[in-house]
Structure 1
Amino acid sequence: MYEGKHSAAKPRKRDYIRVFTLWALMIALFVGAGSFVFARILEERIHTGTPAHGADEELACNAPEENEPATFLLLGSDTRGGEDERGLADTIMVLRVNPDKKIGYLISIPRDTRVDIPGKGKRKINAAYQYGGPDLMIETVEDFLGLDINHYAVVDFQGFKDIIDALGGIDIDVEKRLVDDRHQIDIRPGYQHLDGEEALKYVRIRRVDDDFGRIERQQKFLKAVMDKLLRVSSLLRIPQLADITSRNLKTDPELGVTRMIGYGKNFKSLGRENLHMVTVPGTPQEIGGGSYVIADEGELAWILERIRSDLPLELTEEEKENLNIRVEVQNGSGTAGIAHKMAEKLGALNFKIREVGNAQSFTYYDTQIIASEEKAELARRVQSKLGFGRVVVEGASSETIDVLVIVGRDYSRMIGESDD
């Protein structure tokens, strides 16, 4: 049995199947649709009335402070065997919401992404759930993304069709004809009204494209479900939806009714337009006879820094212009790795990082942003986007660098890094 920093009690036997749409219920809850009634019903059913869904598990998740960013791991598992089998994580998403900045992100992780699973080595990320349940999956995702998980939810696919049918079906623009003779799937292109059975086929079909295409369809479907849930007419369906959800949802013990209501109040002003959906970038690759997705580390680092900085994933016109500003970053504080962290931050703001290294000394307390007189305006732009640092105008222009940033101890202390 896996034992780690998120150790949990042995789970009860259960059979999880693929799920997707119930996550829309959670997200709709977080943006304020009938949060009190929905949360109260879920609390009574999930944590007190449904022990078979894991009410005895004690996985240690750390709930955030009020108005602090909250990060949720959302899982659906694919169990094909008997009750003794835990199953692979068929769908993996991370929901992060900052109510103070009124921005949220839904990160989809391709299930074949090759990562380090603690104690297991390089594996497909979906295997972490089978090896160690939510416990090991949380640790694996935290290590992979560098984001602390505050709560988790594992949802069962059994209620999928009931949820969609309870909503009266979903209208969606099918992007192309989707055919899979093996599973008797044939969905025509164009605007379609999908009942539970057809919706199930739409989100499940695999043979028409790769994992990225499937994720794109799931995200598109999720938006359609959210739109339907947030209509006034759907509020009347909350008791029925909550009843279905309670039979197909397991969460960590910390995500009780009080926190659900709190999240609902804090997140209600977010709005779907401020929820940014993104897929971990990568490319399919064959390794040792197995098919994997290899994450693009550079692009992923950019996305994660944008998320940590609570910035939209779409660049502003000013940020697009930043790509023309060439920046060198030097460590002037002596804190190991601080220049690379600054480079990641500046890269997330779309500045072009040309070099990263050490300054001539480690005696800088204040971060300095240096440029020649003719490029002083570029230094001021860098300072404006960073929100700190001192602009220094000196020296002659360089042919390869526009702005030099020497990272001081102020930044080390700002992000909680020791400069000893």
Structure 2
Amino acid sequence: MLVLLLYGLGALLYASSRITREPVDGLSHGRVYHVLVTGSDSRENLTRRQQRQLNVGRDTGGTRTDTIFVLSIKGSRAAMLAFPRDLFVTRCDGSTGRINAATSIGGMSCLAETVSQVSGLPLRHAIQIDFRGFRDVVSAVGGVELCLDQPITDRDAGIDLPEGCQQLNGVDALGYVRVRKIDNDLERIKRQQQFLKALAGEIATPSTVLNPVRLYGTAGAVGGALRADDSLSSIDLLRLAIGGRGVAGGKIVTETVPATPAVVGGAAVLQVTQPAADTLFERYRSGAIFEAVPSSDRTVAPEDVELAVLNGADVEGIAGQTAEQLRAVGFTVRSVGNAEPTTTTVVRYPPGRDAEARTVAAQAPGGDIAIEEDAGVDVVTLVIGSSG
């Protein structure tokens, strides 16, 4: 799942209740929080009509993975490492071939073990989304805006998109991330990463997080779209949500496993390029990759911040709900109350407390949040506006 926001414990628990869980081998704890995220090409439980509606064709037998990446999270910062589907590797059972066939050998367990063997990354959790689930998530947020430098047409993927900015519905979005015929696997990964950032941004907009109907619709769609390991908890979802805020806010670095085109046994594949790959893997293992995540200003840990939360949106209960979400990630909320109605969400801070204000702005729900010094307040104060 690449993101639910820190707004509404009920929505978070609702999403958690809808996830399909299964035992997954090959998971372990490491110093960095790594989650395997995959997109499956399975047509299981899709009728012929649904296959036509999604433009995914008939089941070709077996299950392969269309998208494979590791999402690494540290607070509100995130790093994404993509594994090309044609990467030639040794898989969990000792066989060699494309990495995306690992799922057909042994499900998510085999893929998790294979990714860990290739990269040395200890994976905390594994998450999978299928075609219909992806469509449902995009539809739940009302579509995602993308700007294309050139038109994209692919009859097999069922898309004919003009150049320029446009709102993609769920079916068009699925075609966009799946299209293969216009370029190679590495370029396809770039499109997928671009789209996931845009989707995270859409989920983070005030029109989603401040609208209970859309929020719960999105939570239900995300939860219903996911298959995950049976140890994934609501706290893990909260951690992913915080990382998702980083993705939406641009606090993410995206990388792809270095690979070189090759032909093995008559098949066109990509071979891992060394030593570049091992150098990159070590940056993810150690957490050094987060040094590359955009971060313009210093922040502090949520545990070191006391704040007040005020309702300026004229939405009943919104300050209390937001306060509970902030407490859940470590903030100390000293007071909750009302403010004069305002459209803008702002964090006001006493002189010298700017780092604390930036921490609150980075993890509070909503879209763009202003930060203002205010000698009239004695504690960092989050004022929630009606437009986020």
Q: CA deviation at 1:187?
A: 1.2
In 2, distance between residues paired with 1:213 and 1:137? 22
- Determine which of 268, 276, 283 is the counterpart of 1:306: 283
- 1:30-179 maps to which residues of 2 (within 5 A)? 32-34=5-7, 36-46=9-19, 53=20, 55=21, 57=23, 59=25, 61-62=27-28, 69-79=32-42, 87-99=63-75, 103-179=77-153
Q: Which residue type is aligned with residue 150 of structure 1?
A: R
In 2, distance between residues paired with 1:267 and 1:162? 18
Relative to 1, partners in 2 of residues 1:167 and 1:266: Cα closer, same or farther, differing over 3 Å?
Answer: closer
In 2, distance between residues paired with 1:148 and 1:216? 24
Q: CA deviation at 1:262?
A: 5.2
Q: CA deviation at 1:103?
A: 3.6
Structure 1 match to 2:189: 215
Q: CA deviation at 1:305?
A: 2.5
Q: CA deviation at 1:80?
A: 5.0
Relative to 1, partners in 2 of residues 1:311 and 1:43: Cα closer, same or farther, differing over 3 Å?
Answer: same
Relative to 1, partners in 2 of residues 1:138 and 1:35: Cα closer, same or farther, differing over 3 Å?
Answer: farther
In 2, distance between residues paired with 1:271 and 1:217? 16
Q: CA deviation at 1:292?
A: 0.5
Structure 2 match to 1:324: none
Relative to 1, partners in 2 of residues 1:93 and 1:183: Cα closer, same or farther, differing over 3 Å?
Answer: closer
Higher RCO structure (Cα 8 Å, ≥6 apart): 2
Q: CA RMSD in A?
A: 2.8
Q: Is the 8 A contact 1:103 1:275 kept in 2?
A: yes
Q: CA deviation at 1:294?
A: 1.1
Q: CA deviation at 1:261?
A: 3.2
Relative to 1, partners in 2 of residues 1:56 and 1:221: Cα closer, same or farther, differing over 3 Å?
Answer: closer
1:287 matched to 2:254: no
Q: CA deviation at 1:214?
A: 0.8
Q: Percent identity?
A: 29
In 2, distance between residues paired with 1:313 and 1:40? 29
CA deviation vs aligned residue, 1:196-240 (integer Å, no higher than 9, x gap): 222222112110000011111111111111111111221122210
Matched residue of 2:40: which SS? strand
In 2, distance between residues paired with 1:271 and 1:199? 18
Matched residue of 1:61: which SS? coil
- 1:389-404 maps to which residues of 2 (within 5 A)? none
- Determine which of 176, 186, 189 is the counterpart of 1:202: 176
In 1, distance between residues paired with 2:249 and 2:264? 39
Matched residue of 2:275: which SS? helix
Matched residue of 2:89: which SS? strand
Q: CA deviation at 1:251?
A: 1.1
Larger radius of gyration: 1
CA deviation vs aligned residue, 1:299-325 (integer Å, no higher than 9, x gap): 212222322343348879xxxxxxxxx
Q: CA deviation at 1:127?
A: 0.9
Relative to 1, partners in 2 of residues 1:39 and 1:82: Cα closer, same or farther, differing over 3 Å?
Answer: closer
Q: Is the 8 A contact 2:36 2:70 kept in 1?
A: yes
Relative to 1, partners in 2 of residues 1:91 and 1:69: Cα closer, same or farther, differing over 3 Å?
Answer: same
Q: How many residues align?
A: 277
Unaligned runs of 5+ in 2: 47-58, 294-388
In 2, distance between residues paired with 1:270 and 1:202? 20
In 2, distance between residues paired with 1:120 and 1:82? 31
Instruction: Give the TM-score normalised by structure 1.
Output: 0.60
In 1, distance between residues paired with 2:158 and 2:243? 44
Structure 2 match to 1:254: 231
Q: Which residue type is aligned with residue 310 of structure 1?
A: G
Q: Is the 8 A contact 2:87 2:272 kept in 1?
A: yes
In 1, distance between residues paired with 2:291 and 2:233? 34
Unaligned runs of 5+ in 1: 1-22, 47-52, 317-420
